[in-house]
A and B are shown apart, each in its own frame.
Chain A
Amino acid sequence: KAGVTQTPRYLIKTRGQQVTLSCSPISGHRSVSWYQQTPGQGLQFLFEYFSETQRNKGNFPGRFSGRQFSNSRSEMNVSTLELGDSALYLCASSPDRGQSDTQYFGPGTRLTVL
C-alpha cells in the first residue's frame, strides 16, 4: 500500500505571497492532519479533517487554512507569508477506526520564505 504523499517537496516563496500544499493520504484513510515543524517550536498541530470537515484546530492564525476533498485528499493554504512560516509542513493520515488508530506521516513539504 502506498504511503502518504505530499507535493511539492520543496518550496521557496517571498513574504506576502501565498502557498498551497497538497497531501494524498494512504488509500482508505479518511482522517488527514497537518502539522508545522520548526527547530524552535517542534511539531505543532495545525488542523485535522475528516469527511471534508475540519474536526480539530490548533492555535494558528487564520492565514492558515485547509480543506479536504471527497477522495480524502487535502490541501492547506497559507496566505500573506511571513518569514516565521518557514518550516517543514507534515501531513498525516489515519483510518479513523477509534482508539486503536494511529497516524502515519508523509515526507513533508519544506517551505522557505525569503
Chain B
Amino acid sequence: QKEVEQNSGPLSVPEGAIASLNCTYSDRGSQSFFWYRQYSGKSPELIMFIYSNGDKEDGRFTAQLNKASQYVSLLIRDSQPSDSATYLCAVNMGSGGSNYKLTFGKGTLLTVNP
C-alpha cells in the first residue's frame, strides 16, 4: 500500500512565527508533490507544487523536497491567523507522466494564535 504520512497535529504557533509541516511518502518512484490547504467546511486549495529536489519559494511559503529521504515539507513564514487550516500533503502516484492518482496524507491541523 503506497502511503503518505503527516503529523496529525494540531500544530499551534504564535502569529509571526514560522510553521513547519512535514510529510513522508512510501513510493520511491513518485515524481510530483503538492501542498493543499483546506479550511473547515471547504474544499482543498492548491498552495504549491514541487518536482525537483531542493527548495521552492512562493511568497511566505517554501516547499522542500528530498527524494532520497522521501520527505517533503512546507514552511510558512510570518504565520497569520488566516493561515489556520488543515494542510494536506499529496503525492502523484499515477502510472506515469501526467496521469493522476493523488495520494493524500491525512493532514496537519495548523492553528496560528494572535
Contact = CB atoms under 8 A, between A and B. Distances in A.
Grouping DSSP codes into helix (H, G, I), strand (E, B) and loop, the A interface class, with mixed when no group exceeds half, is strand
Range class of the B interface residue count: 20 to 34
Given A43-B104, A45-B103, A105 B44 contact: yes
A58 B104 CA distance: 12
Nearest to A6: B43
Nearest to A88: B43
Contacts of A31: 98, 100
Nearest to A43: B104
* Interface SS majority for chain B: loop
A94 interface: yes
A104 interface: yes
Nearest to B94: A56
Interface in B96-113: 97-107
Interface stretch (A13-21, A64-72, A73-81, A95-103): A95-103
A100 B50 CA distance: 9
B63 interface: no
The residue in A42, A94, A98, A107 that gathers the most chain B C-beta atoms within 10 A of its C-beta is: A42
Contacts of A92: 102
A45 B101 contact: yes
17 contacts: A31-B98, A31-B100, A41-B106, A42-B104, A43-B44, A45-B102, A48-B99, A48-B100, A55-B95, A56-B95, A58-B101, A90-B43, A99-B32, A101-B98, A103-B46, A105-B43, A105-B44
Interface of B: 31-32, 34, 36, 42-46, 49, 51, 88, 90, 94-95, 97-107
